[in-house]
Amino acid sequence: MKKFKIPLIILTFFFAVAVYLQAQVMVVGHVTAEIVSSLTATETAQLSFGQFFPENAGGQIILTPQGIRSSTGAVKVVGGMYNLGSFLVTGEPGALISIQLPSGPTTLTNSANAGMMTVTNWISDPPQYSNKAIPASGGQSVNIGATLIVGNISDNPIGMYTGNYNITFSYN
């Protein structure tokens, strides 16, 4: 019986090792990475509320991202060129972008007489924070509108008012 036990133990050991070796498997995984074109934006049209007269009470001029201008209060628009703001955003076709408009008001100043007006209620088309895919052409147009708060003629004397605003475009 001893003669059979030792070979049986050895055979069992080799069988256990063989089962253990077969229970493991090695595979090769693959890794990829792709660098895409950078995101760029160019202002193609400046935001301009055009010409107006505030009279004695002031009011607002509203300019939509579709280019529609209206006024409230005692502000009278009097012609002249007005324009929605427009940007061309370029990047990887099919990539999603988002738009972040100014979080607060922007001040316009008249360098000749220190008059100031405020731009608020920023709005864009496509809308802020939306996931908009860059088209196959590689360029997405983004239009900007806002509301100009105008004081009376004493607060806002005649002249040209200018200012800047920040808008952020990012990949999502």
The answer as to whether 24 is a domain residue is: no
Q: For the chain, give the number of residues.
A: 172
Using one digit for the tens of pLDDT, what is the confidence trace for 32-81? 998 888 899 999 999 999 999 998 899 999 999 999 999 999 999 998 89
Q: What is the count of structural domains for the chain?
A: 1
pLDDT of residue 133: 92
| Cα(43)–Cα(84) distance, integer angstroms | 11
The answer as to whether 55 is a domain residue is: yes
The answer as to whether 148 is a domain residue is: yes
pLDDT of residue 1: 53
Give the pLDDT mean for 153-158.
90
Entry pTM: 0.80
**CB count, 10 Å around CB of 32?**
4
The answer as to whether 142 is a domain residue is: yes
Using one digit for the tens of pLDDT, what is the confidence trace for 95-144? 999 999 999 999 999 989 989 999 999 999 999 988 899 999 889 999 99
Using one digit for the tens of pLDDT, what is the confidence trace for 80-105? 899 999 999 999 999 999 999 999 99
Domain that residue 87 falls in: 38-171
The answer as to whether 57 is a domain residue is: yes
Contact, 49 vs 102, CB < 8 A?
Answer: no
The answer as to whether 28 is a domain residue is: no
Contact, 144 vs 75, CB < 8 A?
Answer: no
The answer as to whether 4 is a domain residue is: no
Residues 6+ apart with CB under 8 A from 77: 50, 51, 52, 61, 69, 71
Query: What CATH number is attached to the domain comprising 116?
Result: 2.60.40
Does residue 15 have a pLDDT over 70?
no
The answer as to whether 130 is a domain residue is: yes
